A = this chain, B = another copy of it.
Amino acid sequence: MGEVQQVLSGVPLFAALDEEALGRLAARSVARDYGTGHLLFAAGDDCRGVYVVVSGRVRVFRTSPDGREQVLHTEGPGDAVAELPLFDGGQYPASAITEVESRLVFVPRAEFEALYRDSPDVAQAVIRELGRRLRHLVQVTETLAFRDVAARLAMYLAQWAEQRGTATAGGVELTLDRTREEMSLELGTARESVSRAFKQLAGNGLIVRLSRTRIRIPSVERLRTLARPGERPRYS
């Protein structure tokens, strides 16, 4: 089994495919390495196919006319990027760029289309995937609409702690592999505001800064509480 096929077999979207279909798909797909900051496609481009992340990380975002950026989601190993336009024949609604050095497999459009047209299981997987996206976007929307930056950051850290945090005696410890700048793009705010929000959370004892890139969260529970209090947020 070639490397490409190996990778594709681990992608939820293609989980339902049998050996043969997978092999055929792999044969027509291409793996390639990209450096940091490579633009895979821009919002408005016509869709040529779907990318699957082998390693690294891809950021999907919208750009405002005056250059600001709002990250819609980031995808890591095993995730697919840009399935959406394949179905309605439309254009990419957002742009995508590699955040770090990444290896991606590109599946041409025609190939992918034939696939889910024939296989109900794949269609099912696609629906599930779109559903996941939709749920996530609802989350993003809510975040932008409601909370102030500190609450958004609290939410963000709490969610992150549950994924990659490691439990210790003093609470969950967490390494942040992103710069404040990158976080600011996801939170829909400015770099400086993220810094200030960190200070605020630290001041309230909700987080402890162990180093620049590492924090401890004494209680994820309490952190979440700040993100959704019954009342509007008010800090000392």
Q: Which residues of A are at the interface with B, using a C-beta cutoff of 8 A?
A: 62, 64-66, 68, 70, 72, 84, 87-88, 90, 93-94, 117, 120, 123-124, 126-128, 130-135, 137-138, 140-142, 144-147, 188, 228-232
Closest Cβ–Cβ distance, residue A153 to chain B (whole Å)? 16
- Choose among B68, B93, B145 the residue that contacts A64 (Cβ–Cβ < 8 A): B145
Return chain B residues, CB-CB under 8 Å to A123: 120, 123-124, 127
How far is B133's CA from A87's CA once the two chains are assembled, in angstroms? Answer: 13
Number of copies: 2
Mostly helix, strand, loop or mixed at chain A's interface? Answer: helix
For A228, the closest partner residue in chain B by CB is B65
Q: Judging by beta carbons under 8 Å apart, are B145 and A88 in contact?
A: no
Closest Cβ–Cβ distance, residue A167 to chain B (whole Å)? 27
Contacts A126-B127, A230-B66, A232-B66 hold; do A134 and B133 have CB atoms under 8 A apart? yes
How far is B125's CA from A176's CA once the two chains are assembled, in angstroms? Answer: 41
For A120, the closest partner residue in chain B by CB is B120
How far is B219's CA from A78's CA once the two chains are assembled, in angstroms? Answer: 47
Return chain B residues, CB-CB under 8 Å to A120: 117, 120, 123
